[in-house]
Chains A and B, each alone.
Chain A
């Protein structure tokens, strides 16, 4: 039996790896490259917008809070696209942090704070988010967006 190309049976996970120096100006270029990969995954425009928001926030956190803008430190990214989900990992070389200690920016007492909404956006726009501290050091944020119709 001939197997049809493009059948979901033959969609395997495809991973792309990127890295960026810890400079604010580098965020846009890498986020744009990731957005291009995401657009090829067939995700809806609205979902892709959310993923782009989450990616930019995760990259900014890695560059600023993780690597403390130290240009000798890289932020490493992997984007894995499979039939039913998109997984993006952002790894920095920082000391790590506990996301549970980040105050809820939507609480009345935090509404007028000028920062602290990045992680909120990451959580809001992705379906699953995990912060990992791998044994080799640094922090990895693992973000998953599931396809609406797997």
Chain B
């Protein structure tokens, strides 16, 4: 089984990526990078990452989230995060990245924030 499974759905002009598994060094981080690159190539610039199914992230995964955020911003888009597990929220807190990312617990609230 792949380390990180990513499925894509559309809500208006927002692309929601439902992630499950691990975003860790190697396969998981590469899978996220590839997915974000593909989104940008397809002109999809409003991305909501649903991390509800992600149980584990390491420093490489955190770095990949930051890279995704900066790549999408640079392209004039927006990346927001949904459904952080407590552990990921803790990691973003200690790395002070909660102040960088726009984080939501409710999908409808997250979708509204893109408007």
CB distance from A23 to the nearest CB of B (A): 9
Tell me, yes or no, whether A24 is within 8 Å of chain B by CB: yes
Bound CA–CA A124/B96 (angstroms): 13
* Contact A111–B26 (Cβ < 8 Å): no
Tell me, yes or no, whether B87 is within 8 Å of chain A by CB: yes
Given A111-B97, A112-B66, A115-B63, residue A57 in contact with residue B58 (CB < 8 A): yes
Contacts of B63 in A (CB 8 A): 113-117
Tell me, yes or no, whether A106 is within 8 Å of chain B by CB: yes
Tell me, yes or no, whether B25 is within 8 Å of chain A by CB: yes
| Chain B residues in the interface with A (C-beta under 8 A) | 24-26, 58-60, 62-64, 66-67, 69-70, 87, 91, 94-97, 99-100
Q: Would you mind naming 12 contact pairs between A and B with Cβ atoms under 8 Å apart? A: A24-B26, A53-B58, A56-B58, A57-B58, A60-B60, A105-B95, A106-B96, A111-B96, A111-B99, A112-B69, A114-B63, A117-B62
CB distance from B115 to the nearest CB of A (A): 25
| Chain A residues in the interface with B (C-beta under 8 A) | 24-25, 27-28, 49, 53, 56-57, 60, 105-106, 111-118, 120-121, 124
* Contact B64–A114 (Cβ < 8 Å): yes
Bound CA–CA A135/B56 (angstroms): 37
CB distance from A57 to the nearest CB of B (A): 6
* Contact A27–B97 (Cβ < 8 Å): no
* Contact B58–A60 (Cβ < 8 Å): yes
* Contact A114–B26 (Cβ < 8 Å): no
Bound CA–CA A117/B59 (angstroms): 5
CB distance from A76 to the nearest CB of B (A): 19
Contacts of A114 in B (CB 8 A): 63-64, 66-67, 70
| A120 contact from B67, B69, B95, Cβ within 8 A | B95
